Structure 1
Amino acid sequence: MSCSVLSSLAASTRCLSFYFATECFVKTAFIAQKIESIMQNNEFATTNVAVCIFGGILKCRLGNYSSAQQTVVHIHLERMKILLINSNNRQIKHRQVLKKMIQLKSESPDDFLFILYKLNRYAKRMFTHFQLITSAIAMDNRTQQENCYNSIKNYICKTQELLTEYNLSSEAFDNIASTATNMEYAAKLTGFGPRYAYMLLPPYIRDNEIETITTQFQDQNFVVTQTTINGGGVGYDD
């Protein structure tokens, strides 16, 4: 058998493997979306599942506060380490926040729209700097990495401060954010979910520094998990 035929067979095998992997991912995403929609009553199940299964950062625009539109997936951004911090908040806290949002929209629509405007502005600027920090990491430009990280950190802080100002956070999340700020980092709640906050770590951070940060939160009885964002999604063995 000629080398060209062997190469063709090898390429066909890889394509077939990729096809089955993609088909498996699509089925997994469909099932996960249904489960999350039913069990968590989550309007954004499609967005959440897309990020978890396929990876990357998902940039979207919301219509009528509930339906995602103009979705764009960027899967080539650099992985970055985060600390995922369990706030120990209960689901009831989540429901209270949702009630506050509904009340604010009804009683003070100008404030409600102002919050959405600010959150949108911060998110767009963070997204831009995630793209810039990816380039800085590729060029091994430490100064640019620091500048980009500080910008992202600034908008994370501003977002958490805005949520706190309008009573859309909680004492536990505020304590986590305060601890992070005291260590010259930034943390905020992961959304309007009931339990977790995250702290974005700079790409140049050392392992012993991560251990020190983790210990600070553990001393306050928070459970901390180190993980990454901007990943490639669920993997499979060749």
Structure 2
Amino acid sequence: MKLSADLSAFADRLGHAFRRPELLIRALTHSSLSSSTRPDNQRLEFLGDRVLGLVMAEALLSADQAASEGQLAPRFNALVRRETCAAVARDLGLGEVLKLGRSEMMSGGRRKEALLADAMEAVIAAVYIDGGFEAARGLVLRHWGGRIGAVEADSRDAKTALQEWAQARGLNPPRYVELAREGPDHAPRFTIAARLETGQEAQAEAGAKRQAEQAAAHALLSRLVQDET
């Protein structure tokens, strides 16, 4: 199987030559276009999320050998969260080659954050299956590299930094609201919202409440700082 011209260009941007091009096609196929003969990318997304997490954990440990778990967790969450995966996908032009059903396409699916993030994780898995862990690791470090440096530079506790931001503007401390808890007791997933009294908020998901709170605080603070610039 040969890749089409647009998929070949996308693979070039990834920096990986696929020995099994069907893996890339599957990684880019949304469930709205799947069929019995055309599998979607959901299983690959599941795997890619874990590969991305391992690469990021390894990279953060290597970059700061003195950091505690409490310092590393918010950095990790900032790098693997949906918004970051979608941003990398946009940088690569993934939306342009995403394979969608008509209804999803008509509703702007190529720009949807969730679809881009899921497909980006699926692409990581496709590279992992096609070329092994080193190939996947290289892919992630190439396209997340600048973000790893940025999150290392902003290594303060995100909840503390957000509280300081709010207090400096005469606002009450942010509130952290549990929106959802999913999964079994041994592997829960928490969705937490960090909220200011102004109504501004950001949400994040993680396997522990504290990590989700840190990630939500980081996301909200990043947005607030960006709005001020």
State whether TM-score is above 0.5.
Answer: no
Of Structure 1 and Structure 2, the greater helix share is in 2
Of Structure 1 and Structure 2, the greater strand share is in 1
Q: Which has the larger radius of gyration?
A: 1
Where relative contact order (Cα < 8 A, 6+ residues apart) is larger, the structure is: 1
TM range (shorter): under 0.3
